[in-house]
Copies of this chain bind each other. A is one copy, B any other.
Amino acid sequence: MVARTRGREPMSAEILCIGTELLLGNITNGNARWIAEQLAALGIAHHRQQVVGDNRERVIAAVREAAGRCRLLITTGGLGPTPDDLTTEAIAAAFDTPLRERPEVWADIQAKLTSRGRPVTPSLRRQALLPEGAAVLPNGTGSAPGMIWSPEPGFTILTFPGVPSEMQAMWTATAAPWLRDAGLAEGVFASRMLRFWGVSESSLAERVADLLEQGNPTVAPYAGAGEVKLRLTARAATPEDAQVLLTPLEAEIRHRAGDHCFGADGDSLASVVLAELRRRGQSLAVAESCTGGGIGAALAAVPGASDVFLGGVIAYANALKQALLAVPADLLATHGAVSDPVAEAMAQGVRRCTGADWGVAVTGIAGPAGGSADKPVGLVHIAVAGPDGCVAGPVRFGSSRGRQWIQSLTAGEALDRLRRRLLEP
């Protein structure tokens, strides 16, 4: 025991992800990345991640090893009701501690199922078992709770389910505040995610190359599907001090990036566009061909969208472009469905039939079939029609990344063109 305690690094954390699906390569370990980001944001040093399968002996071995090295072990996976969910049982066994049923957890599981009209089956009761002495880490959305347990002095385990949405909600609601209050987080980290569209990661990185080198606050680039992000992180004694470090850095980056920076933190292209239209008291409709409803879905995903976003038309088939959006047949015949004139007619048509102030339309070739030398897969025409006229133009995403990638980029690009149009004086 003495050797163990000596071997531990102060305040260090490890992540242990449990699931045979990770060892088989069925899924990517997004949970490890997400938790790693959160630990960094809390200022908790994190030196090792591990993955083991749904195997009792290997989970026990991994937990014991971690107890010899670190102060805080975060686990994901293996909390469900099926026989291969054995995380809680294995952790209890690793420290020779019996399991006890928590009546309040079992009551909560039954209540959740009943409210969803799902049957309460006996196997679910396993999820109410926790080691003696462990605190419940509540799961607000799913049935399996986690735990916060210190089986040895100076060593604490937090367990989470493997479902990312449940894990993230539990972390935010309970684990992060607990880690702060328990003094495991050292100082405070404050961070801000700046979001960009219309600029590549490498080109943005060149513009801020000197800032990527600095120590505190730090700047780190992330690339997603079309969107590029910069995470600004400051470490300081208090949240106020951290903000003092972040504010001028953010201003400098926004200055260098110009209108490529569309927002920060929880913003999306859809939420930013909706907020600006709400401020103006204007409404929006969409006319979608190749995205099939993806732009509307992105808008509808934003809470409160309904006061700005009216809806629109999914004109996937050319016949619907004519029937519902009144796109003239000769335009389709002369220019083809994937063209500026048709995109314009769709955007104007959806304004007309919905009465919206703004209409956004896309028509393109998402592939894998349907491309030609003249109009290759990845070619999309986008039109934005508003009170002061309509502007259309093409964009080429290339074919290499596939259909859903092209559809996702098209939705982002369409919203970004509307955003830039709204920035015009």
Contacts and interface: CB of A to CB of B under 8 A. Distances in A.
Interface stretch (A23-31, A92-100, A176-184): A23-31
Interface stretch (A152-160, A248-256, A306-314): A306-314
Contacts of A80: 201-202, 223
B121 A403 contact: no
A35 B29 CA distance: 13
A53 B58 contact: no
Given A36-B23, A300-B294, A304-B369, A319 B355 contact: yes
Nearest to A404: B301
Interface stretch (A41-49, A128-136, A327-335, A381-389): A41-49
A212 B82 contact: yes
A297 B294 contact: yes
A64 interface: no
A49 to B, nearest CB: 4
Contact of A313 (B49, B191, B314, B400): B314
Given A27-B33, A201-B80, A314 B292 contact: no
Contacts of A355: 319, 323
A401 B292 contact: no
Number of chain A interface residues as a range: 35 or more
Number of identical protomers: 2
A291 interface: yes
A67 to B, nearest CB: 14
Contact of A354 (B38, B295, B300, B320): B320
Contacts of A303: 367-369, 403
B83 A212 contact: yes
B311 A320 contact: yes
Contacts of A205: 81-83, 123
Contacts of A294: 293, 296-297, 300
Interface in A176-226: 191, 193, 200-203, 205-206, 209, 212-213, 220-223, 225
Interface of A: 20-30, 32-40, 46-55, 58, 62, 65, 80-84, 112, 115-119, 121, 123-124, 140-141, 163, 165, 191, 193, 200-203, 205-206, 209, 212-213, 220-223, 225, 231, 233, 286, 288-297, 299-301, 303-306, 309-317, 319-320, 323-324, 353-355, 366-369, 396-398, 400-405, 407
14 contacts: A23-B49, A25-B34, A26-B193, A48-B51, A48-B58, A80-B201, A80-B223, A286-B314, A294-B297, A296-B296, A303-B369, A305-B316, A311-B324, A324-B324
